[in-house]
Amino acid sequence: MKTKLILFLIILSSLCWQCNNPKPSEKKALENKPKVTEKKLKTVGYVAGYRDFDFSKIQAEKLTHINYAFANIIDGKVCFGGKTASNEADLKEDDIKSLHDLKKINPDLKILVSVGGWTWSTHFSDVALTNSSRKIFAKSAVDFLIEYKLDGIDLDWEYPNQTGAGNPHRPEDKENFTLLLKEVRKHLDKQSEKDGRPNEDKYLLTIATGGDQAYVNNTNLGDAQKYLDFINIMTYDAYNGLHTTTGHHANLFPANGDPAVKAKGEEVKSALTSVQGHIDAGVPVEKINLGLAFYGRLWKGVNNSNNGLFQAAETVGMIEYYRILAEQFIDKNGFTRYWDESARAPYLWNPDSRIFISYEETNSIKYKIEYLKEKGLGGVMFWEYTDDYDSQLLDAIYENLD
pLDDT band at 358 (very low <50, low <70, confident <90, very high): very high
pLDDT band at 139 (very low <50, low <70, confident <90, very high): very high
CA 323 from chain centre, in angstroms, equals 20
The DSSP symbol for 40 reads P
> d(Cα 50, Cα 68) in Å, to the nearest integer?
10
Q: Out of 93, 158, 183, 320, which one is annotated catalytic?
A: 158
29 or 287: which carries more pLDDT confidence? 287
Helix, strand, coil percent content, the chain, rounded in steps of 5: 40, 20, 40
> d(Cα 295, Cα 399) in Å, to the nearest integer?
20
Of 344, 322, 325, 323, which Cα lies nearest the Cα of 335?
325
How much of the chain, in percent, has pLDDT values that exceed 90?
81
| Amino acid symbol at 201 | D
CA 358 from chain centre, in angstroms, equals 20
> d(Cα 43, Cα 397) in Å, to the nearest integer?
8
Question: Are residues 290 and 276 in contact, defined by beta-carbon separation less than 8 angstroms?
Answer: no
What lies within 8 Å, CB to CB, of 111 at 6+ separation is 65, 66, 68, 96, 99, 100, 102, 103, 150, 151
Per-residue CA distances from 178 to 133, 207, 234, 328 (Å): 14, 11, 19, 44
Cα-based angle 161, 167, 168 (whole degrees, multiple of 5): 60
| Amino acid symbol at 87 | N
Mean pLDDT of the chain: 90
Residue 390 has pLDDT above 50, yes or no: yes
**Number of neighbouring beta carbons within 10 Å of residue 128:** 24
Phi, psi of 348 (to 5 degrees): -120, 145
Q: What is the pLDDT of residues 279-297, one digit of tens each?
A: 999 999 999 999 999 999 9
pLDDT band at 103 (very low <50, low <70, confident <90, very high): very high
pLDDT of residue 93: 67
Residue 158 a catalytic site member: yes
pLDDT of residue 359: 98
CA 277, 280, 281, 285 dihedral sign is: positive
pLDDT of residue 6: 47
Average pLDDT over residues 132-159: 97
Residue 377 has pLDDT above 60, yes or no: yes
Question: Are residues 189 and 227 in contact, defined by beta-carbon separation less than 8 angstroms?
Answer: no
Alpha helices in 195-307 (DSSP H): 213-217, 221-224, 259-262, 271-280
Question: Are residues 84 and 50 in contact, defined by beta-carbon separation less than 8 angstroms?
Answer: yes
Report domain extents, the chain: 39-294+360-401
Burial, 88: exposed, middle or buried (Cβ in 10 Å; 0-12, 13-18, 19+)?
Answer: exposed
Average pLDDT over residues 34-55: 79
pLDDT band at 18 (very low <50, low <70, confident <90, very high): very low
Residue 21 has pLDDT above 90, yes or no: no
| CATH code, residues 39-294+360-401 | 3.20.20.80
Q: What is the pLDDT of residues 201-233, one digit of tens each?
A: 999 999 999 999 999 999 999 999 999 999 999
pLDDT band at 94 (very low <50, low <70, confident <90, very high): confident
Residue 3 has pLDDT above 80, yes or no: no
> d(Cα 133, Cα 206) in Å, to the nearest integer?
20
pLDDT of residue 344: 98
What lies within 8 Å, CB to CB, of 21 at 6+ separation is none
